[in-house]
Structure 1
Amino acid sequence: MEITQNAALLVVDVQQGFEDLDAWGTRNNPAADENIASLIAVWQDTGRPVVFVRHDSVKPDSPLRPGQPGNGFKEYVERRRGAGKGPELFITKTVNSAFYGTPDLDAWLKAEGVTQIAVAGIQTNMCAETTARMGGNLGYDVLFALDATYTFDQEGPFGWHLTADELARATAVTLHGGGFATVVTTEELVARAR
């Protein structure tokens, strides 16, 4: 795995509202925040572009809706914004894909000459996966940092229930097996980015 000098890190929805386990339920991967912080640090320290994505929910009961404390980035993310040597972009969105946010992510990446993106953030099987899939569809070389994401147990149709770990594995298999992204670890990305 090679990481280009201008590979962009997409930090997706690392917001305070995801700390509200009453709203979301049981989560997986307690090391995710530490891994996300490591990726932001190495990307900024090496002058690579970082994109901070915030979900502005339109659902009236969501802890991620604007005006609520949960809409804000987690403290370690907010502290790193503006601290890098390379280009930075802030995107807001109301749907799953960062490519449907404001400003236009695809246009910005193209203007910066970016052909490779690394995706980290919350939730693994929702906004992180959707952003990775769309990035793959748009022709980017996508690296998906599985252990720098987390998700929550979820109920589905027919009384089906999947744990957060099962959903994360399903995302990894779908992205990797479907050719949308290369699923990697934070350790691999940090080592190669240095």
Structure 2
Amino acid sequence: MKTCSHRKQDTDATDRRLLERIAHGDRAALATLYHSYHERLCVFLYRVTRHREIIDEVINESFWVIWQKAADVRQAPRVSIWIMGIAYRAAMKALRRRGAEAFDEDNLTLYRTSSTNGEEVPELRDRITHGLSRLTCDQRLVFELVYGIGHSLDDVATITGIPLCTVKACLLQAKAKLRNVLPFLAVEAPKTGAP
């Protein structure tokens, strides 16, 4: 059985081959890459922006950039992180065009707030919403990418273009603000590198 690290390497190698073909104008390779990433990008973009109405626009814009810059991926540590970075920047651009915030305050519930029998726990949802509303936009973004999606601190720095030391500081500040409101979030900070 392959380890997670081997699967990531295999996936990255496959993605790099697709990007080589895309760099030479292969539209079928672009379609394959698009279908491979579409669902992941939908989840990622919703978690990052909380604006469903821009997701398709952002994904299409991202793949236009990928089509144009496929030859540039050699510089990226992993193709998936390169693609997420493109999508992140496209999402921030789309939000600026619309004059919207990166997080819609009415939709801040990040985590499933249900009991073991599947019933929603309103008190927990309210505590999470209240706790997250205390964070700055950057703190929420880093917190969501690390704890909501599971990216490493290094990956968050690469995706967002925020220096690693700033990513770490944002996460520490977010946890400090949330510790009193949400004691179950008083967990150890993720390590840098792949999760």
Please indicate the TM-score interval, normalised by the length of the shorter structure: under 0.3
TM-score normalised to structure 1 length: 0.25
Identify which of structures 1 and 2 has the higher relative contact order when contacts are C-alpha pairs closer than 8 Å and 6+ apart.
Answer: 1
TM-score normalised to structure 2 length: 0.25
Larger helix proportion of the pair: 2
Larger Rg: 2
